[in-house]
């Protein structure tokens, strides 16, 4: 266990020889972007407006280019990531979201664009000492005081404590100006964090029945009609979610060839999975149900109980119609735990 003064934090980040992506202020939002001198670091912001997912799985990315010369096609693929970088200040919920993405993109067939970024990333976690009112990560067995990252920081007033858990983390921390610290100090921080999270409004949701054994029971619930009635299909929930992984692949004629790119998509959109015969989920009720069934039932039933929700609370904050996954859990579940 090591420690350093909080006033050294930004100089410590600036001194890293690798590119650093961190939560920074951009206009009225806080996003993960390259940290540079002059940018305002916002490690205090729980539930950033854009999640760390975008560093690993960009909202928009070029995959390859095509060029026709007569009957010859010239194809040029975009180069995969090949340089290390640091993803800084990642909360426990967002790190669990990355684990969810790993299940999707690192399973056969492996997504080589995602895999390259994931391999080269060094992730520095940040314990949540001040939770947001909409946080409910502990329902999914996520410890907000102990992100599952290469290296973890614990803020404590004018001090930070830090500890590395992987070779990547140890190599990164070797270059930091730190001092030996008492591990008991961090134990007290963790205890205080646990108390704060236990007192949150959504800390004790009951997830009983959200599993593969009760799939049809949940699917056929009459509650879906009422729950989905106000849904606009705007996709805000999916674009703010750290685990949503749906995307579309399209071709664009640049005038000098064809650019093939990938962009995020949303199961809430009317043209999602649209084919010649139409779509297999034509109503907003069916689209709404698909989103939450996937998060709470389909995904855990196929991935050893891992939910595709991490309790970050972003959908609660962002939905313009006040629709969110907590309402679904309460409506289809068994209330709250005693």
pLDDT for residue 207: 92
Judged by phi (left if over 0) then psi (alpha if -120 to 50, else beta), residue 209 lies in left
260 and 66 Cβ atoms separated by less than 8 Å: yes
Low-confidence ranges of the chain (pLDDT < 50): 335-338
The pLDDT assigned to 334 comes to 65
Q: What is the pLDDT of residues 32-46, one digit of tens each?
A: 999 988 899 999 999
- pLDDT score at 337: 46
CA 291, CA 138: separation in Å to the nearest integer?
21
CA 201 to chain centre: 22
User: b vs e for 181-212, b when ≥16 Cβ sit within 10 Å of the residue's Cβ?
Assistant: beeeebeebbeebeebbeebebbebebeebee
Pairing of the two strands 85-90 and 121-126: parallel
Which pLDDT value is given to residue 338?
Answer: 41
Largest CA distance in the chain: 71
Give residue 60's pLDDT.
95
pTM (2 d.p.): 0.93
Measure the CA–CA gap between 140 and 118, rounded to whole angstroms.
23
């Amino acid at each position: 266990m090591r420690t350093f003064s909080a006033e050294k934090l930004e100089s410590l980040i600036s001194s890293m020889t690798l590119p650093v992506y961190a939560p920074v202020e951009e206009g009225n939002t806080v996003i993960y972007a390259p940290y540079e001198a002059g940018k305002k670091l916002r490690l205090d912001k729980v539930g950033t407006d854009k999640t760390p997912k975008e560093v690993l799985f960009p909202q928009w990315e070029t995959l390859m280019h095509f060029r026709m010369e007569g009957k010859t096609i010239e194809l040029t693929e975009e180069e995969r990531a090949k340089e290390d970088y640091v993803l800084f200040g990642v909360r426990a919920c967002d790190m669990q979201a990355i684990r969810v993405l790993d299940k999707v993109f690192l399973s056969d067939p492996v997504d080589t664009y995602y895999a390259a970024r994931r391999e080269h990333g060094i992730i520095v976690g940040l314990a949540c000492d001040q939770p947001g009112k909409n946080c409910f990560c502990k329902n999914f067995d996520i410890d907000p005081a102990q992100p599952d990252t290469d290296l973890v920081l614990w803020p404590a007033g004018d001090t930070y404590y830090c500890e590395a858990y992987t070779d990547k983390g140890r190599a990164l921390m070797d270059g930091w100006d730190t001092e030996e610290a008492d591990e008991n100090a961090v134990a007290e921080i963790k205890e205080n964090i646990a108390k704060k999270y236990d007192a949150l409004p959504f800390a004790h949701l009951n997830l009983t029945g959200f599993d593969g054994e009760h799939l049809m029971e949940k699917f056929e619930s009459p509650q879906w009609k009422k729950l989905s009635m106000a849904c606009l299909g705007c996709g805000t929930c999916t674009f703010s979610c750290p685990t949503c992984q749906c995307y579309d692949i399209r071709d664009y004629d640049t005038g000098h060839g064809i650019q093939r790119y990938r962009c995020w998509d949303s199961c809430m959109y009317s043209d999602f999975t649209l084919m010649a015969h139409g779509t297999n989920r034509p109503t907003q009720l069916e689209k709404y149900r698909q989103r939450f069934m996937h998060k709470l039932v389909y995904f855990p039933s196929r991935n050893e109980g891992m939910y595709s929700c991490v309790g970050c609370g972003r959908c609660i904050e962002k939905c313009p119609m006040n629709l969110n996954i907590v309402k679904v859990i309460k409506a289809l579940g068994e209330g709250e735990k005693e």
